[in-house]
């Protein structure tokens, strides 16, 4: 009963958080887009890490500007591509067999260790799940089971049941185990798609919450809670749903803070700039310029005069230095308006370290930030 009560309380609290999301947001869309990209990278690394991939956050961020051909990075890239595929979908449209198979195809594309012999196709053989008591249904039943799963996933339900809907669908997908490999990655992608369909998006259409962070916070707890639900009893299902809802609640509480631009400047980006100076990645005058860009969002050369006094030519040279370090970026190619490049140069990894200090980094990535 206590577990059941926690489930109900957290489910209702989640609805309050969702209702408030974006209502009083002061963080400019430009910053939200950059933070969205950063969290997309983080969650892709988490999803791959759950499967045993050892690609670090910093390697993944560096690969944004310096392509990495390794298989580990390809797996992370594939997950990001699949997440982008979902972001481009109509959030109110139904999930289909074609969408599920396409997410699988993208996820395992060009992979060996974590690939699948039949990308984008349901398994044609019976399988066993390593270190699990549950035996998935015969391959002869997979298509019918997935049709039933899609009927369930596409149901229109009251708002109060949305989170339980996603949690149960996530477990049931893994219970079916429709592919030979890649089921974990696809299940997490589908959970994100369902959350998006249920309205868990920011005011500018970017993801507000990603269930992958929940699983990355407690990988062992994730597998244990899933296993508890494998017998399809009410008790096991409640245990799994409580784990899922508890994690989403915690994650949305943290993400809600990113709507507050004062918090973003003073607790996240500002301290990252301080770390940049301390590490020798920027001079004090360059840091001053970055802070001006942080506050104004878009700047021209004249806006940076307090940081770079002197002639216009000297200021142009200083700005060019920030562009070469990937700390500033042009609003458009050849333009003379600039913005802070949150993922460029050495600032991106330092933002990650700051996120870790703030408790935003899933536990599974803790070793990366050491």
Binding site per annotation, positions for ATP:
222-223
Beta bridge partners of 149: none
**Cα 26 vs. chain centroid, distance in angstroms?**
21
Contacts of 152 (CB under 8 A, 6+ apart): 168, 169, 172
**What's the rounded Cα separation, in Å, for the pair 326 and 342?**
9
**What's the rounded Cα separation, in Å, for the pair 260 and 26?**
5
Q: Are 340 and 38 in contact (CB under 8 A)?
A: no
Catalytic, 249? Answer no
**What's the rounded Cα separation, in Å, for the pair 349 and 298?**
22
The dihedral region occupied by 116, where left means phi > 0, alpha psi between -120 and 50, and beta the remainder, is beta
Q: Nearest to residue 213, comparing CAs of 344, 362, 25? A: 362
Largest Cα span, the chain: 75
**What's the rounded Cα separation, in Å, for the pair 209 and 189?**
12
**CB-based burial, 118-139: b 16+ in 10 Å, e otherwise:** bbbebbeeebeeeeeeeebeeb
**What's the rounded Cα separation, in Å, for the pair 313 and 205?**
41
**What's the rounded Cα separation, in Å, for the pair 370 and 353?**
8
Q: What is the DSSP letter of 83?
A: H
Catalytic residue among 162, 170, 177, 249: 177
Residue in the structure block whose two tokens are 């947001």: 25
The token duo for 351 is 């933002």
**What's the rounded Cα separation, in Å, for the pair 201 and 187?**
19
Binding residues: 222-223
Active-site residue set: 177
């Amino acid at each position: 009963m206590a577990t059941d009560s926690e489930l109900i309380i957290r489910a209702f609290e989640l609805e309050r958080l969702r209702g408030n999301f974006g209502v009083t947001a002061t963080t400019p869309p430009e910053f939200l887009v950059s933070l969205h990209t950063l969290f997309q990278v983080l969650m892709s690394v988490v999803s791959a890490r759950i499967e045993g991939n050892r690609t670090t956050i910093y390697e993944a961020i560096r690969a944004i500007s310096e392509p990495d051909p390794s298989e580990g990075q390809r797996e992370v890239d594939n997950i990001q591509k699949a997440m982008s595929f979902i972001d481009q979908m109509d959030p109110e449209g139904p999930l289909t067999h074609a969408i599920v198979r396409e997410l699988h195809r993208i996820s395992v594309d060009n992979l060996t260790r974590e690939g699948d012999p039949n990308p984008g196709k349901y398994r044609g053989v019976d399988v066993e799940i390593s270190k699990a008591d549950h035996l998935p249904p015969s391959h002869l039943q997979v298509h019918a089971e997935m049709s039933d799963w899609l009927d369930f996933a596409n149901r229109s339900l009251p708002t109060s049941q949305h989170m339980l809907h996603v949690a149960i669908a996530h477990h049931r997908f893994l219970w079916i185990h429709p592919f030979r490999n890649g089921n974990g990655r696809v299940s997490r992608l589908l959970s994100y798609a369902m959350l998006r369909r249920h309205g868990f998006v920011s005011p500018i259409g970017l993801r507000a919450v990603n269930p992958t962070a929940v699983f990355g916070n407690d990988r062992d707890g994730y597998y244990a809670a899933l296993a508890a639900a494998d017998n399809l009893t009410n008790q096991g299902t409640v245990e799994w749903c409580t784990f899922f809802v508890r994690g989403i609640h915690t994650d949305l509480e943290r993400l809600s803070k990113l709507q507050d631009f004062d918090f973003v400047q003073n607790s996240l980006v500002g301290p990252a700039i301080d770390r940049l100076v301390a590490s020798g990645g920027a001079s004090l005058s360059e840091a001053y310029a970055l802070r001006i860009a942080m506050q104004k969002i878009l700047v021209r050369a004249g806006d940076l005069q307090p940081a770079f006094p002197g002639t216009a030519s000297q200021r142009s040279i200083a700005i060019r230095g920030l562009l070469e370090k990937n700390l500033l970026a042009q609003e458009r190619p050849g333009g003379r308006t600039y913005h802070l490049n949150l993922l460029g140069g050495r600032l991106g990894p330092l933002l990650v370290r700051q996120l870790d200090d703030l408790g935003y980094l899933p536990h599974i990535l803790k070793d990366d930030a050491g």
